[in-house]
Structure 1
């Protein structure tokens, strides 16, 4: 597996984790609104997504040239 594919796969996995934390946060805030710190839980995967997304944006794609 090349480095570019590993980064893309890692980005996909972190995006699934991010969605799970967003759903968890929404449910936790509707059940008990006194726990405000729960709203900060999705920030860690969001910053990781931002970092990998910026990395993929600026990394040039290597396309195979044909003929």
Structure 2
């Protein structure tokens, strides 16, 4: 498995984790004010999704740029 496929698989797995943390956050809000660790738990997966998603978005443009130089 090459780097790109590996990164996509991890991105998908983290997307599932992010979704679960958001669902847990909303479920905790129905019980009253949630603890801070539940409120902020989606931020780490979201940061990772942003970084990997940005890389995957820019990757085709980088490949075209490298091929032209």
Counterpart position of 1:29:
29
Runs of 4+ in 1 over 2 A off after TM superposition: none
Q: TM-score, normalised by structure 2?
A: 0.79
Answering whether residue 20 of structure 2 is matched by residue 20 of structure 1, we say yes
Answering whether residue 43 of structure 2 is matched by residue 43 of structure 1, we say yes
CA deviations over 1:21-64 (Å, ceiling 9, x no partner): 0000000111121x3512211111000000000010111287xx
SS in 2 for 1:59: helix
Q: TM-score, normalised by structure 1?
A: 0.82
More helix by share: 2
Counterpart position of 2:11:
11
Q: Distance in 1 between matches of 2:10 and 2:44?
A: 14
How many residues are paired up? Answer: 61
Structure 1, unaligned runs of 5 or more? 63-67
